[in-house]
Amino acid sequence: MDAINKALNPTDEELAVQAAAGSRPAFEELVSRYSLRLFHFLRSRSGSDEDVEDLVQETFLKAYRNIVRYDPQRKFSTWLFTVAVRLSISRHRSQGAKPLPLDSEGPEHPSPGPQEALIRKEETRKAGNIWLLARTLRPSEYEVLWLRYAEELPMKDIARAMKKSLVGVRVLLHRSRLKLGKKLRAPSPSAGLAEAAAAEQRLSIL
């Protein structure tokens, strides 16, 4: 039974090995598993949803071209997010992109499309408004929080993905949690943010 379940539900690492061997369906499954997760992760470094989607596509394209270099002894998520971080930093430096504002509604966005509506629903279901607040932090602060608490990566994998020392990641994570905690406690006209304060306690025990 375990062998059947393994065949029907391969791990990310197994799919990556299959993709490296030439299996397009295996890579397409990885795209399906990681598209939304990469979208959330990359929002802090892009100026619009369209820019984020472009960056997600660039990440998958670069991953596909370099999948043969993937080491199956490493977590695939760490490898993929490393690709995403490097691309996002490169684009941010070259284009001077600004973080996505909390309120993306306005004349240019009169109503969310189906994809944006799905993304917003998923955000609300998973973590309420905490990640909306986190997006007001510096990109590196948002990224370390996302990799630790949304992706649940080990600290050493976060250090590898962000190209920082382990000590540097621990300091950045601590600082980011403190800043996010202050934002969660700050008075806000949005009623939804009051409920997000409970998430601070969850962060403190992880």
Query: Options 3.90.1720.10, 3.50.50.60, 2.60.40.1930, 1.10.1740.10; which CATH number does 9-100 get?
Result: 1.10.1740.10
Place of tokens 């993937």: 70
Strands (E), the chain: none
What phi and psi, each to the nearest 5 degrees, are found at residue 34? Answer: -110, -5
Q: Where in the chain is the domain with CATH 1.10.10.10?
A: 128-206
Contact 49, 101 (CB under 8 A): no
pLDDT by residue for the chain (206 residues), tens only, comes to 444 445 568 999 999 999 999 999 999 999 999 999 999 888 877 667 888 899 999 999 999 999 999 999 999 999 999 999 888 887 766 555 444 333 333 333 334 455 555 555 554 444 546 777 788 888 899 999 999 988 999 999 999 999 999 999 999 999 999 988 888 777 654 434 444 444 445 454 44
Using DSSP, state whether 106 is helix, strand or coil. Answer: strand
6-25: b or e for each residue (b if 16 or more CB lie within 10 Å)? eeeeeebbebbbbbbeeeee
Q: Where in the chain is the domain with CATH 1.10.1740.10?
A: 9-100
Say whether pTM exceeds 0.85. Answer: no
Fold of the 128-206 domain:
Arc Repressor Mutant, subunit A (1.10.10)
- CA nearest 174: which of 134, 198, 204? 204
CA distances from 74 to 51, 71, 78, 165 (A): 29, 6, 7, 18
